[in-house]
Amino acid sequence: MTKQNTGGAEESSVPWHNLEQWIRGQVQEFIQRILEDEVTDW
């Protein structure tokens, strides 16, 4: 029995070897936005 690819999945725009760096950047941007909103509200 062989596996078949249905071809339905789209290719990821972020290569696996850069995934950690990309996630860290996303989290940093998220935290920065939250902090800026908090300072603005305060």
Supply the pLDDT for residue 42: 86
* 1-42 residue pLDDT tens: 566 666 555 555 667 778 889 999 999 999 999 999 999 988
Supply the pLDDT for residue 16: 75
DSSP codes joined into one string, 1-42: ------S-SPPPSS-GGGHHHHHHHHHHHHHHHHHHHHHHH-
**Whole-prediction pTM:** 0.55
Supply the pLDDT for residue 2: 66
